[in-house]
Amino acid sequence: MLMQLSSEEDFWGNVYAYIRYFFSVLLGTAYVALKPIAGLFKKPVTAFFTIFALVGLLVFVSVTVNAMLGLSSVEPFQPLDTMTNLEL
């Protein structure tokens, strides 16, 4: 039993290292992606358009996800039954 626990010590150390690596890559990617956007807030005009674009992006994603999940009040698509409506 003791030998098994000691052999798993390296395993959990590696799992912890991969978790730290994952979050490092995640935060690094977010930093690289958001750094240019942060530079746009230095001037009032570009800050206004940046905020406008970010709000527009948020609304677009929200509407798209609501439509994909069927949460909107639009009637679902009813395809025509092509076999019964054929005119020969």
Q: What is the pLDDT of residues 22-80, one digit of tens each?
A: 999 999 999 999 999 999 999 999 999 999 999 999 999 999 998 888 776 666 667 66
Reported confidence tier of residue 87, pLDDT bands at 50, 70, 90: low
Domain ranges of the chain: 2-69
pLDDT for 81 equals: 66
CA distances from 60 to 43, 51, 52, 69 (A): 25, 14, 12, 14
pLDDT (0 to 100) of residue 47? 94
pLDDT of the residue at 83: 59
